[in-house]
Amino acid sequence: MKKHEVWTKGLIKNTCITEDEIKKDSVRRLLLQAMMLLDEKYITGFSIKDFSKKSLKKYEKSLRKNFSDKQENLLCSAIQYLTDAFPEKKMPVKKKDIPLLIYLADEAEDAGISPGQFWEWLAALKKFL
Q: Provide the b/e sequence for 9-23 (b: ≥16 CB within 10 Å).
A: bbbbbbbebeeebbe
Query: Residue 105 above 80 pLDDT?
Result: yes
Cα separation of 56 and 23, whole Å? 17
Number of domains in the chain: 1
- Per-residue confidence (pLDDT) for residue 117, from 0 to 100: 94
pLDDT band (50, 70, 90) for residue 95:
confident
pLDDT at 24 over 50: yes
Question: In the predicted model, is pLDDT for residue 60 greater than 70?
Answer: yes
**Is the pLDDT confidence value at 76 over 50?**
yes
Taking the C-alpha atoms of residue 96 and residue 113, their distance in angstroms, rounded to an integer, is 24
Cα 70 to Cα 52: distance, rounded to the nearest angstrom? 25
Q: Cα-atom radius of gyration of the chain, to the nearest Å?
A: 14
Contact 34, 99 (CB under 8 A): yes
pLDDT score of 75 more than 80: yes
Q: What is the pTM of this model?
A: 0.80
Average pLDDT over residues 55-64: 86
Q: Which range of residues forms the domain containing residue 74? A: 3-128
Are the C-beta atoms of residues 36 and 51 closer than 8 Å to each other? Answer: yes
The mean-pLDDT minimum among 14-18, 111-115, 124-128 falls in 14-18
Contacts of 70 (CB under 8 A, 6+ apart): 42
Mean pLDDT for the chain overall: 80
Calpha distance 11→41 (Å, rounded):
22
Q: How far apart are CA 59 and CA 64, in angstroms?
A: 9
